[in-house]
Amino acid sequence: MRVMGVAGWSGSGKTTLVTGLIPALAARGLSVSTVKHTHHDIDPDRPDSDSADHRRAGAQEVMLAGPRRWTLVREHRDAPAPSLAMLLARLAPVDLVLVEGFRHAALAKLEVWHRADGTDPLAPGDPHIVAMVGDRPDGADHLPVFAPAEIDAIAGFVIDRAESLPG
């Protein structure tokens, strides 16, 4: 599998970019999965569901299977949050994984950044950022810059620059 990160501050347009890239990459014949990091607590179960009852009863993992999809919920309670490497290892093999968030991960990343947002760019301090989507920050003259609407060009860049996972 190959992987490319998409980093940036909340509200910068990371999800918009990822949801644009998925069909552009699929149109080029690639199978694509995603890993999304959030700082919020997640709960895919309805509070009144049987699977939520299983988790509350203490199950470490609960798998919910239906006719069109399945989901696995793993409780790590007081253990540290899972690493990106562990999460990637749990995915079924695909051609490319887009990783949204995990801005501190040591993997090739696109940074979505707009000067008008008033946030500091990550690129000047992160050698793993390989391109900018939005504006070029000071100190990042070496990086290519894409407009957010240049999805096909960004998809081509991702295909060329995505990193292979070991193993």
At 73, list the tokens.
């919920």
The answer for residues whose C-beta is within 8 angstroms of residue 18's C-beta and 6 or more apart is 6, 34, 36, 98, 100
Question: Which CATH code is given to the segment(s) 2-42+79-164?
Answer: 3.40.50.300
What is residue 158's predicted lDDT score, i.e. its pLDDT? 97
Show the DSSP H helices in the chain as ranges.
Answer: 14-27, 50-56, 84-90, 151-161
DSSP letter at 141 equals T
Pairing mode of beta strands 129-134, 70-74 = unpaired
What is residue 165's predicted lDDT score, i.e. its pLDDT? 75
pLDDT tens, N- to C-terminus, the chain (167 residues): 999 999 999 999 999 999 999 999 999 999 999 998 765 455 566 678 887 888 788 888 887 888 888 888 787 778 888 889 988 998 999 999 999 988 889 999 999 999 999 999 999 999 999 999 999 999 888 999 999 999 999 999 999 999 997 65
Could you tell me the residue ranges of all domains in the chain? 2-42+79-164
